[in-house]
């Protein structure tokens, strides 16, 4: 797992993407994208948590290991966190996790941290579009099918 | 319906904006039935139109929408939309109101708010919500997040084609509805009708409505919003081009006698700064210029914001000017702005000109006032007086928000809570009389049972079923582990389906329920109640969103959308199987409040608590009550404040429910909401008491200047000292007086504005002029901040000959004693660009208001924060101005920020209203979704204590001597951050447990066979610490 694996681009590759959304802002933004009928790729599945500060880096690692090609962590804009500073903590953890992913050859480009407000359905839809394209270009995760039941 | 005195435990709130919602929520939480009526089809008011709020740039909708949902869903709140008051009769405590309800032609019970009808409606009309920059349909929802989420047919524009009726699967359209008259019995009324925006077309010299690129500030706000006409982009209406230069003209419809609005609208300065910054963020390379007379940055952190706008964001400010006119270059549609600077006429060219429109009184308010029998002031706003700022002229009817004077969101919210407190005090005996808690059957304990999951998949009419293959999803669900029942429903949220869910739970012995439908944000509570009715713990429920986040966003790919639906259901079922019963902690409430500080705010709070039937323990550090008010003698209109203070102190001392401690300080505070243990040292004697809530009203003090020869020359004094002199001597022997503003305020050391000193200076100047019109008065100021109706006193002072001289920060006046022993003041008049030399008999300094000296120690004791200036910092600067983030502790008055007498009274009442929502209950139900410590795993490192923003974890000693973390259930908010940071994974979360989340992740990517999640939890450590 430590050797860098160059992803092979596959024909018709449809990436699997998991998006963590916080209950108060980004999940509401995702709902608003729906209310506004903004269309975006099917590849993303949302997992709701109360706060982006609830997202354990291990959740992200586990998703990648199990076959996620990309993982998004989204929360309230800095300063807007319902729990004051959960998103700040999410950011610190994200930075550490990014380094780790680079070190072990998976690549931090497969994960992304974004702030999406409850009134920004457009940003949510655009992010889904853009991130799906980005992951499609990266190709399948080098970890795909390699899960062993623990990191 | 009522208590023994015939009082009715219900309140009508007129207006569903932010103030109306706050008042309604406070009342409803305290046990009153609330009717919110609004002429609009939805609540939300003016705030719902905002993109961001100053000075924190909070997204307005992000902070508003939880309030919308809370108001809409509160079991004690009844919304009466598209309604107005027709008549009122009765007396305080017992009114009958006739309400005229307009027909919305859509059945509120049946409409699900899906909005399908709007897609096919053929009629497009001007969208008022977007200021006409966008179109809407004749059947419409005012804005996407509107509450109630019920559509309305605008019959003025509807052509009656009936297409909407054919689209509505719920059968909610009803063209035969008619206006109806409803009678409602209530005890008090709160008026919160807000304001209406000034029509900028009336200032014809600015070309609004004539030149395409002249916008109102509200139009710009809609443009800046992501849900606005151009998705947050600012574009020139004339050619759709991005602007390069934008100018804001201030005071359009404010401080303007010619248009009949002599008052200041109080918010437009900050509003313009905010828009000028945000517009720059949205538009690369944009220059923004603000043209203004005085920058009225008088609120919390406003001056700091103003400085940042200029220094960091490079907003250009042009002072001392009222723009005289705007003209257009017809070829480019660019605008020329004409103004004078230092007496010279200048012209500048801009792509867009924004008019900062002021506040008018609310539309049609004269009719409302007549029906209610309340007095309006000369500007059409509600008449109030300084001692009772929340009372209208008619007993039993109260007021809050912009209707009593133009004001911003936090001041409106604070007043709203205050008005709720006043409204409650008339009907204190009827509290709880009209609200009944719903009874549920006893809960079946399912612990130890094998999971038996039932799955209900919703068609939502054709909202989901039109895209996803819903029946196949239900069939698929049956194949999942632990699922014993699955079915599809036309509307899972409808009354009959919920009945059915309840029956299926009983018949099949389900112990977990999954609903696949719309968003859990709005619908979780509905289904949780269904579970409760079926005897299940409400947390055995999981919801997955296959509408807003699936069918609606993948309309063109039904097959893969259905596949995604399968995944989402699989994830929900996986989590559901691991759900556990949760019960919120219950805390018993001690029915008594501690009030810290015996000034105006503290005494007002104590009295209001007593009126509501609760004990108050009032702690004052001095030997007598009164605080800073002891040094203020008269109000702006000559009100006798010392007489008032004497009566107030007597009232407090005579009140059996109020326990006064003088020469007192707090020694120790422990415990949490509902039961704080407080040790008070008074006159050298210690008392330990238990208190349910704490109100911080520590007040402030006047700055002792080190500038301008203060303390060195007896002719130099502060405004308070000067006021005392005027009040005691009743006359003044002088030919000339100079007043200097901002002494100790708005400096590098103390960058905030003390808010009251401009007006206090004007007040004392008027007092002198009254005593002897011949005395010359020079008032040296930087920005004159006589906001709201105080502006008129400023004008009066100018008319009576007070000379106002503006100086810039860098050209502070020089004061010295000349060789003949006279005081000499030299100042550069910024407007005339001339140096003035004055020899006054007295020099009066408008000294800053400082936070109380003990704030720092108190902040440590209560574990609540201070801002950088030493004032207490509230939970949220916009929407929770009177709360601390720590539950059960509130603040009011100068502890929060320097402010006026009437603002202190409003805030003190408001803090009491906030406190009553806790005190009125016997027990307090905490959050159910909270952190739980596994003491066997905890190694007592304390990382959780440092992580938590709410003070929930603390370290405790076990009997075996080990130190472990303990979570105060009453304080935990359930964010889960501590659980992530916990080194040993000893902290887990209810409902969002590590195992539960991992099970969702695992079922999201099913192609890999893996062992169960729980076993791996211990290994997390290695990853998080890397």
Q: What is the pLDDT of residues B437-459, one digit of tens each?
A: 778 899 999 999 999 999 999 99
Q: What is the pLDDT at residue A6?
A: 42
- pLDDT at residue A14 greater than cutoff 80: yes
- Can you tell me the mean pLDDT for B338-355? 93
The single residue listed with the structure tokens 């849900």 is B227
The single residue listed with the structure tokens 């050209």 is B811
Report in angstroms the alpha-carbon separations of B432 from B4, B76, B589.
13, 10, 16
- pLDDT at residue A1 greater than cutoff 50: no
- Tell me, yes or no, if the two domains B1-102+179-195+362-434 and B197-360 fold the same way: yes
- pLDDT at residue B939 greater than cutoff 50: yes
Interface mutation target, options B54, B59, B140, chain A, most CBs of A under 10 Å: B59
**What is the count of residue pairs from A and B with beta carbons less than 8 Å apart?**
201
Report the share of chain B in percent with pLDDT over 90. 86
Residues whose CB falls within 8 Å of the CB of residue B45, separated by 6 or more in sequence, listed in order: B15, B16, B17, B18, B19, B20, B21, B38, B194
- Can you tell me the mean pLDDT for B653-682? 95
User: How far is CA B326 from its chain centroid?
Assistant: 36
- Is B974 near chain A, with CB under 8 Å? yes
B1-102+179-195+362-434, CATH topology level: FAD/NAD(P)-binding domain (3.50.50)
Q: What is the pLDDT at residue B467?
A: 94
Q: What is the 3-state secondary structure (H, E, C) of B435-451?
A: CCCCCCCCCCCCCCCCC
Q: What is the 3-state secondary structure (H, E, C) of B155-178?
A: CCCCCCCCHHHHHCCCCCECCCCC
How many Å lie between the alpha carbon of A51 and the closest alpha carbon of chain B? Answer: 6
- Report domain B106-178's class: alpha beta
Distance CA B1021, CA B348 (A): 62
Distance CA B702, CA B612 (A): 33
Sorting pLDDT into bands at 50, 70 and 90, what band is A10?
low
Sorting pLDDT into bands at 50, 70 and 90, what band is B56?
confident
- Can you tell me the mean pLDDT for B998-1013? 72
Q: Please report residues of B whose CB lies closer than 8 A to that of A34.
A: 519, 547-549, 552-553
According to DSSP, the β-strands at B397-399 and B803-806 are unpaired
- Is B1016 near chain A, with CB under 8 Å? yes
Interface mutation target, options B990, B1001, B1016, chain A, most CBs of A under 10 Å: B1001
Instruction: Answer whether CATH 3.40.50.1110 is correct for domain B591-699+852-924.
Output: no
Q: Please report residues of B whose CB lies closer than 8 A to that of A122.
A: 226, 231-232
Q: What is the pLDDT at residue A11?
A: 63
Convert the pLDDT of each residue in B409-425 to its tens digit: 999 999 999 999 999 99
- What chain B residue is nearest to A79 in terms of C-alpha separation? B58
B931-1024: CATH architecture: 2-Layer Sandwich (3.30)
- Is A77 near chain B, with CB under 8 Å? yes
Q: What is the pLDDT at residue B498?
A: 86
Sorting pLDDT into bands at 50, 70 and 90, what band is B670?
confident
Sorting pLDDT into bands at 50, 70 and 90, what band is B1?
very low
Name the CATH superfamily for B197-360: FAD/NAD(P)-binding domain (3.50.50.60)
- Is B1 near chain A, with CB under 8 Å? no
Which helix (H) or strand (E) segment holds residue B843: the answer is strand B842-847
DSSP per position, B443-478: PPP-TTSPP-EEEEEE-TTTTTTTTS-HHHHHHHHH
Sorting pLDDT into bands at 50, 70 and 90, what band is B1022?
very low
- pLDDT at residue B203 greater than cutoff 50: yes
Distance CA B40, CA B129 (A): 11
- pLDDT at residue B384 greater than cutoff 80: yes
Q: Does the distance separating the beta carbons of B947 and A125 come in below 8 Å?
A: no
Q: What is the pLDDT at residue B201?
A: 96
- pLDDT at residue B748 greater than cutoff 70: yes
Instruction: Answer whether CATH 3.50.50.60 is correct for domain B711-849.
Output: yes
- Is B46 near chain A, with CB under 8 Å? no
- pLDDT at residue A130 greater than cutoff 60: yes
Q: What is the pLDDT at residue B549?
A: 97
Sorting pLDDT into bands at 50, 70 and 90, what band is B628?
very high
* B717, two tokens: 């004094």
Mean pLDDT of chain B: 94
Interface mutation target, options B874, B1022, B1023, B1025, chain A, most CBs of A under 10 Å: B1023
C-beta of residue B678 within 8 angstroms of C-beta of residue B669: yes
- Is B1018 near chain A, with CB under 8 Å? no
Q: Please report residues of A whose CB lies closer than 8 A to that of B549.
A: 30-31, 33-34, 46
Q: Which of residues 542-571 of B touch A (CB under 8 A)?
A: 545, 547-549, 552-557, 560-561, 563-564, 567-568, 571
Q: What is the pLDDT at residue B1018?
A: 40
- Can you tell me the mean pLDDT for A94-113? 95
Domains in chain A, CATH or no CATH each: 17-138 (3.40.50)
Q: What is the pLDDT at residue B782?
A: 97
Sorting pLDDT into bands at 50, 70 and 90, what band is B1020?
very low
- pLDDT at residue B698 greater than cutoff 90: yes
Q: Does the distance separating the beta carbons of A150 and B1024 come in below 8 Å?
A: no
- pLDDT at residue B64 greater than cutoff 80: yes
Sorting pLDDT into bands at 50, 70 and 90, what band is A2?
very low
Interface mutation target, options B49, B278, B975, B996, chain A, most CBs of A under 10 Å: B975
Indicate the domain borders of chain B: 1-102+179-195+362-434, 106-178, 197-360, 453-552, 591-699+852-924, 711-849, 931-1024
Distance CA B952, CA B967 (A): 5
Gyration radius of chain B's alpha carbons: 31
- pLDDT at residue B956 greater than cutoff 60: yes
Report in angstroms the alpha-carbon separations of B237 from B267, B350, B428.
26, 14, 55
- Is A134 near chain B, with CB under 8 Å? no
- What chain B residue is nearest to A61 in terms of C-alpha separation? B1023
- What chain A residue is nearest to B980 in terms of C-alpha separation? A56
B453-552, CATH topology level: Rossmann fold (3.40.50)
- pLDDT at residue B1012 greater than cutoff 60: no
- Is B929 near chain A, with CB under 8 Å? yes
Task: Name the residue with higher pLDDT: B59 or B299.
Answer: B299
- Can you tell me the mean pLDDT for B875-890? 91
- Is B776 near chain A, with CB under 8 Å? no
- Is B44 near chain A, with CB under 8 Å? no
Convert the pLDDT of each residue in B547-573 to its tens digit: 999 999 999 999 999 999 999 999 999
Q: Please report residues of A whose CB lies closer than 8 A to that of B62.
A: 24-25, 28, 76-77, 80, 117-119
DSSP conformation class of B870: S
Q: Does the distance separating the beta carbons of A89 and B1020 come in below 8 Å?
A: no
How many Å lie between the alpha carbon of B949 and the closest alpha carbon of chain A? Answer: 7
* B215, two tokens: 């916008």
Q: Does the distance separating the beta carbons of B571 and A51 come in below 8 Å?
A: no
Name the nearest CA neighbour of B635 among B784, B790, B804: B790
C-beta of residue B732 within 8 angstroms of C-beta of residue B725: yes
- Is A116 near chain B, with CB under 8 Å? no
Q: Please report residues of B whose CB lies closer than 8 A to that of A151.
A: 1016, 1019, 1022-1023
Convert the pLDDT of each residue in B586-597 to its tens digit: 889 999 999 999
Distance CA B10, CA B444 (A): 35
- Can you tell me the mean pLDDT for B120-125? 96
Distance CA B10, CA B189 (A): 9
Distance CA B540, CA B928 (A): 12
- What chain B residue is nearest to A14 in terms of C-alpha separation? B560
Q: Which of B57, B519, B998 sits opposite A59 (nearest CB)?
A: B998
Q: Does the distance separating the beta carbons of B980 and A89 come in below 8 Å?
A: yes
Q: Please report residues of B whose CB lies closer than 8 A to that of A28.
A: 62, 65, 521
- CA angle B108/B109/B112 to nearest 5° reads 80
Convert the pLDDT of each residue in B275-315 to its tens digit: 999 999 999 999 999 999 999 999 999 999 999 999 999 99
- pLDDT at residue B533 greater than cutoff 60: yes
Q: Please report residues of B whose CB lies closer than 8 A to that of A66.
A: 1001-1002, 1004-1005, 1008, 1010
Span of A120-124, B686-690, B861-865 with lowest mean pLDDT: B861-865
Sorting pLDDT into bands at 50, 70 and 90, what band is A147?
low
Q: What is the pLDDT at residue B1016?
A: 42
């Amino acid at each position: 797992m430590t050797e860098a694996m160059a992803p092979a681009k596959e024909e018709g590759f449809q990436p699997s993407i998991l998006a963590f959304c916080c209950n108060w802002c980004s999940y509401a933004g995702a709902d608003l994208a729906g209310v506004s009928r903004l269309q975006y790729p099917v590849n993303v599945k949302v997992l709701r948590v109360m706060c982006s500060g609830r997202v354990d880096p291990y959740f992200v690692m586990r998703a990648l290991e199990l076959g996620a090609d990309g993982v998004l962590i989204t929360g309230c804009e800095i300063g807007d966190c319902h729990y004051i500073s959960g998103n700040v903590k999410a950011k610190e953890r994200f930075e550490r996790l990014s380094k780790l992913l680079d070190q072990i050859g998976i690549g931090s480009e497969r994960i992304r941290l974004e702030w999406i407000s409850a009134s920004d359905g457009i940003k949510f839809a655009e992010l889904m579009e853009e991130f799906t394209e980005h992951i499609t270009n990266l190709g399948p995760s080098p970890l795909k099918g390699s899960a062993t039941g623990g990191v | 319906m009522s208590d023994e005195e015939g009082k009715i435990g219900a309140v009508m709130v007129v207006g569903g904006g932010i103030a109306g919602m706050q008042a309604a929520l406070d009342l409803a939480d305290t046990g009153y039935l609330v009717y919110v009526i609004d002429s609009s089809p939805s609540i939300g008011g003016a705030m719902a139109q905002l993109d961001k709020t100053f000075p924190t740039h909070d997204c307005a909708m992000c902070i508003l929408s939880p309030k919308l949902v809370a108001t809409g869903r509160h079991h004690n709140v009844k919304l009466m939309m598209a309604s107005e008051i027709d008549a009122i009769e009765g007396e305080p405590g017992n009114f009958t109101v006739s309400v005229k309800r307009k027909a919305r032609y859509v059945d509120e019970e049946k409409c699900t708010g899906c909005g399908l009808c709007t897609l096919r409606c053929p009629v497009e009309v001007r969208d008022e919500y977007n200021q006409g920059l966008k179109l809407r349909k004749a059947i419409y929802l005012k804005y996407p997040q509107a509450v109630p989420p019920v559509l309305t047919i605008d019959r003025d524009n509807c052509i009656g084609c009936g297409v909407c009726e054919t689209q509505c699967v719920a059968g909610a359209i009803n063209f035969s509805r008619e206006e109806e008259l409803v009678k409602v019995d209530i005890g008090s009324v709160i008026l919160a009708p807000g304001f209406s925006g000034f029509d900028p077309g009336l200032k014809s010299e600015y070309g609004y409505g004539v030149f395409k690129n002249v916008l109102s500030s509200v139009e710009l706000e809609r443009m800046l919003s992501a849900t606005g006409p151009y998705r947050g982009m600012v574009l020139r209406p004339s050619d759709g081009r991005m602007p390069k230069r934008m100018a804001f003209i201030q005071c359009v419809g404010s401080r303007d006698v010619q248009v009949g609005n002599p008052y200041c609208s109080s918010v437009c300065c900050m509003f313009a700064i905010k828009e000028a910054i945000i517009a720059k963020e949205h538009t690369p390379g944009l220059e923004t210029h603000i043209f203004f007379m005085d920058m009225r940055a008088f609120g919390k952190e406003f001056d700091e914001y103003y400085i940042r706008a200029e220094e960091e964001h490079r907003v250009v400010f042009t002072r001392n000017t009222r723009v005289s006119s705007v003209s257009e270059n017809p070829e480019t549609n660019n605008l020329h702005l004409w103004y004078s600077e230092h007496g010279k006429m200048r012209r500048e060219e801009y792509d867009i000109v924004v008019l900062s429109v002021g506040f008018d009184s609310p539309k049609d308010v004269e009719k409302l006032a007549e029906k209610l029998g309340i007095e309006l002031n000369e500007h059409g706003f509600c008449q109030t007086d300084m001692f009772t700022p929340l009372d209208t002229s008619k007993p039993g009817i109260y007021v809050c928000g912009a209707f009593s004077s133009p004001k911003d969101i936090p001041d409106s919210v604070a007043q709203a809570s205050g008005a709720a407190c006043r409204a409650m005090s008339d009907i204190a005996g009827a509290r709880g009389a009209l609200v009944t808690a719903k009874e549920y059957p006893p809960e079946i304990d399912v612990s130890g049972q094998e999971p038996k999951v039932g799955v209900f998949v919703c068609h939502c009419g054709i909202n989901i079923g039109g895209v996803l293959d819903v029946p196949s999803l239900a069939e698929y669900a049956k194949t999942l582990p632990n699922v014993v029942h699955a079915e599809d429903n036309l509307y899972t949220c409808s009354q009959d389906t919920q009945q059915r869910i309840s029956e299926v739970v009983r018949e099949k012995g389900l112990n977990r329920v999954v609903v696949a439908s719309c968003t859990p944000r709005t619908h979780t509570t509905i289904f949780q109640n269904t579970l409760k009715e079926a005897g299940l713990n409400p947390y055995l429920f999981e919801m997955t969103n296959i509408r807003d986040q699936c069918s609606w966003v993948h309309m063109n790919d039904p097959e893969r959308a259905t596949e995604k639906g399968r995944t989402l259901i699989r994830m929900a079922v996986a989590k559901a199987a691991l759900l556990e019963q949760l019960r919120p902690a219950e805390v018993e409430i001690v029915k008594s409040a501690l009030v810290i500080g015996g000034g105006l705010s503290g005494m007002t709070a104590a009295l209001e608590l007593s009126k509501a039937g609760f004990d108050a323990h009032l702690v004052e550090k001095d030997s007598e009550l009164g605080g800073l008010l002891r040094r203020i003698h008269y109000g702006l209109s000559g009100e006798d404040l010392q007489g008032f203070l004497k009566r107030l102190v007597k009232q407090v001392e005579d009140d059996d429910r109020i326990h006064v401690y003088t020469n007192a300080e707090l020694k120790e505070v422990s415990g949490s909401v509902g039961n704080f243990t407080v040790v008070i040292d008074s006159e050298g004697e210690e008392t330990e008491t238990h208190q349910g809530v704490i109100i911080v009203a520590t007040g402030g003090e006047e700055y002792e200047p080190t500038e301008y020869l203060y303390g060195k020359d007896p002719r130099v004094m502060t405004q308070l000292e000067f006021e005392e002199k005027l009040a005691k001597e009743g006359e003044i022997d002088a030919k000339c007086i100079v007043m200097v503003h901002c002494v100790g305020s708005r400096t590098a050391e103390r960058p905030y504005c003390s808010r009251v000193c401009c007006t206090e200076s004007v007040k004392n100047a008027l007092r002198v002029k009254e005593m002897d019109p011949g005395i010359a008065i020079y008032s040296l100021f930087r920005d004159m901040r006589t906001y709201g109706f105080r502006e008129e006193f400023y004008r009066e002072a100018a008319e009576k000959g007070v000379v106002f001289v503006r100086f810039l920060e860098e050209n502070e006046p020089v004061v010295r004693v000349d060789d003949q022993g006279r005081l000499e003041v030299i100042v550069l008049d910024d407007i005339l660009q001339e140096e003035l030399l004055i020899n006054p008999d007295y020099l009066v300094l408008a000294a800053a208001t400082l936070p109380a000296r003990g704030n720092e120690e108190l902040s440590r004791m209560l574990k609540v924060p201070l801002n950088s200036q030493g004032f207490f910092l509230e939970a949220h600067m916009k929407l929770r101005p009177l709360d601390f983030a720590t539950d059960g502790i509130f603040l009011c008055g100068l502890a929060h920020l320097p402010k006026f007498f009437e603002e202190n009274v409003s805030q003190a009442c408001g803090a009491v209203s906030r406190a009553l929502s806790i005190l009125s209950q016997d027990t307090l139900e905490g959050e159910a979704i909270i952190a739980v410590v596994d003491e066997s795993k905890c190694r007592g490192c304390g990382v959780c204590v440092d992580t938590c923003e709410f003070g929930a974890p603390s370290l405790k000693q076990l009997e075996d001597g080990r130190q472990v973390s303990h979570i105060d259930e009453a304080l935990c908010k359930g964010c889960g951050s501590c659980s992530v940071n916990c080194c040993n994974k000893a902290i887990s979360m209810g409902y969002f447990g590590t195992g539960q989340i991992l099970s969702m992740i695992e079922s999201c990517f099913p192609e890999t066979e893996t062992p169960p999640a729980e076993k791996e939890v211990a290994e997390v450590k290695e990853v998080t610490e890397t």
